[in-house]
Homo-oligomer: A and B are copies of this chain.
Amino acid sequence: MTTTAEPRITARRRATRDRVLEAASEVFAERGFHGATVEDICERAGFTRGAFYSNFSSKDDLVVELSQRHSEALVDRIRRASKREHAGADEVLRDVFAALADDSRSKERWLVLTTEFTLHAIRDPEARRAWAAQQRRVRDELVTVVDEAVARQGLTLPIPTELFVRAAISLAQGSMTQRLVEPRSLTVGELERTVLPILLGVAD
Residues of A within 8 A of B (CB): 30-35, 108, 112, 115-116, 118-119, 121-123, 128, 131-132, 135-136, 158-159, 163, 166-167, 169-171, 173-175, 177-178, 180-182, 185-186, 190-191, 194-195, 198-199, 203
Q: How far is the CB of A161 from chain B (nearest CB, A)?
A: 12
Q: Interface majority SS on A: helix, strand, loop or mixed?
A: helix
Check if B178 sits within 8 Å of A166, measured CB to CB.
yes
**How many copies make up the complex?**
2
Q: How far is the CB of A40 from chain B (nearest CB, A)?
A: 12
Out of B119, B132, B167, B169, name the residue touching A182 (CB < 8 Å). B132
Check if A119 sits within 8 Å of B128, measured CB to CB.
no
A181 and B122 contact, Cβ closer than 8 Å, known pairs A170-B175, A174-B166: yes
Q: Which residues of B contact A182 (CB under 8 A)?
A: 132, 135-136
